[in-house]
Structure 1
């Protein structure tokens, strides 16, 4: 299980639909020395950037970076299993790790609680709403979990989202980027993933039209009331609205779970197979 994410999609051959390119990505800084960095978390409200490192068959860890591109502490939190997606609420960082979620106090760097999803197969990404509700996707089983007291329970399952990868809560809506119709090394065009929006109150589901069969979808974040999604391992980064999709840029192989600081229009990208993290300014042409 330790190298599942690093190896499962290396052979993907993706063919992407045409899109406009009215924006671009300008490199700012790049850092190396990570070990299979899978996810980056950043927000305008918090000082630091956090990076989850799968780290092969060794214990996984979380790195702490400055927004200027300095490594504050490479192994800020160590001894984890296979950490992947992250989210934050107040002063707590939520980190997915296999079939559980750790809650870390950002002041002390200590795990205060761990939530278990007893029937989960492979949890991957996580998001926390502005009300503090936690959502976690099981990329293998297609289930989406939420926190009830001290455990994770199934919140929703829909056949339209068989492999939920990226998750993003915005107000009363949960956006979910589906990887594809199946987990495989080769996808046919009709099997490519799309983005769906779910009404949190009644769980009604609708596809974001401009994302229809966009590709093997991974990281999902927001930028000025739009969505930004990455394609692992092709390196495509798209900005999505209800009406159109814009190709922001094509990066190196293995772009994984991205994050955006929309106060500065800055994109942060972990390169899972390159052991590096990079920062890009999003420039509207």
Structure 2
């Protein structure tokens, strides 16, 4: 049961799938029918205390310029469904995926590049292009002020494209390829301290590395199609799996603990560090879940 504290209310809400509404129960919320379109990623923007949702709005491979970013309040209200809209003349946004905010900017993975936006003005800045890439997907801030970025190496039909890679973008915007080759189709990535973690879409692995990409350990989970990856305030390492239909903690002794299950296509996770909440987009359902990690 998704919302453990209120099973009856959750069951009643599920009887109304065609109506646009937000079910808010204690510290959890489930937003459906509000206009999301293939939501792939969520991000907490601390300065404005809001949540951002990356909507592919169609195929994750097409350069159709119809992707958009939604802005939500922590109460689960849609502040602006198309806060950044690829359909606008001054915004280019095809199939937005992983996002991070850093130093007043929003970085959005978009097929073969990162789109960069000024958060205060919403002005689109210069793209960061990854030559030869095909499926730029996961993004994490780097401890030194740069970024880590994954290319899942996928072509239309989710066929391997041969471009799998992990990149480092330094603080000046220079793109450095750290690793390439058969990497299990990299997806979620997260850096903290002197450690870099990555989960894989194809091989279902958690790979632990140093910040220069040198692998130090590898754990194969009992399921694949891993997507999001975050680390909480209390250092819990959490990932999502489409195959397992859930969000799991990977403990320091390599055990798995289910946090929330019965989720269809849980994609790139966000984390509200102020309230200790998971932000979970449901890719195939056009819905998002806000889930409290507080007891």
Q: Shorter chain as normaliser: what TM range?
A: 0.7 to 0.9
Of residues 263, 270, 274 in structure 2, which corresponds to 1:263?
274
**Where in structure 1 do 4 or more consecutive aligned residues deviate above 4 Å?**
24-27, 43-46, 148-151
**Are 2:113 and 1:100 aligned?**
yes
Kept in 1: contact 2:196–2:211 (CA 8 A): yes
Kept in 1: contact 2:97–2:110 (CA 8 A): yes
Higher relative contact order (CA 8 A, sep 6+): 1
Unaligned runs of 5+ in 2: 6-24, 87-92, 154-162
Larger radius of gyration: 2
Name 1:65's counterpart in structure 2. 72
Name 2:185's counterpart in structure 1. 163
Kept in 1: contact 2:200–2:224 (CA 8 A): no
Kept in 2: contact 1:256–1:269 (CA 8 A): yes
Secondary structure in 2 matching 1:252 = coil
Task: After TM superposition, give the deviation of residue 260 of structure 1 in Å.
Answer: 1.9
Cα distance in 1 between the residues matched to 2:241 and 2:287: 17
Cα distance in 2 between the residues matched to 1:276 and 1:212: 26
Kept in 1: contact 2:184–2:205 (CA 8 A): no
Q: RMSD between aligned alpha carbons?
A: 2.2
**Are 2:240 and 1:230 aligned?**
yes
Task: Output aligned runs, 1:1-285, within 5 Å.
Answer: 28-32=28-32, 33-42=35-44, 47-56=49-58, 59-79=66-86, 80-140=93-153, 141-148=163-170, 149-150=172-173, 152-157=175-180, 159=182, 161-181=183-203, 193-201=204-212, 203-207=213-217, 209=219, 212-223=221-232, 224-243=234-253, 244-284=255-295
Unaligned runs of 5+ in 1: 1-23, 182-192
Name 2:11's counterpart in structure 1. none
Q: TM-score, normalised by structure 1?
A: 0.80
Task: After TM superposition, give the deviation of residue 214 of structure 1 in Å.
Answer: 4.2
Kept in 2: contact 1:25–1:283 (CA 8 A): no
Cα distance in 1 between the residues matched to 2:218 and 2:273: 21
Task: After TM superposition, give the deviation of residue 130 of structure 1 in Å.
Answer: 3.3
Cα distance in 1 between the residues matched to 2:97 and 2:52: 11
1:61-111 deviations in Å (ceiling 9; x for gaps): 111111111111111111111100011212111100110101111111121
Task: After TM superposition, give the deviation of residue 46 of structure 1 in Å.
Answer: 5.0
Q: TM-score, normalised by structure 2?
A: 0.77
Kept in 2: contact 1:101–1:115 (CA 8 A): yes
Task: After TM superposition, give the deviation of residue 262 of structure 1 in Å.
Answer: 3.6
1:22-72 deviations in Å (ceiling 9; x for gaps): xx8656212232000000011556511111000016510111111111111
Kept in 1: contact 2:40–2:56 (CA 8 A): yes
Secondary structure in 1 matching 2:266 = coil
Secondary structure in 1 matching 2:239 = strand
Task: After TM superposition, give the deviation of residue 158 of structure 1 in Å.
Answer: 5.7
Kept in 2: contact 1:96–1:124 (CA 8 A): yes
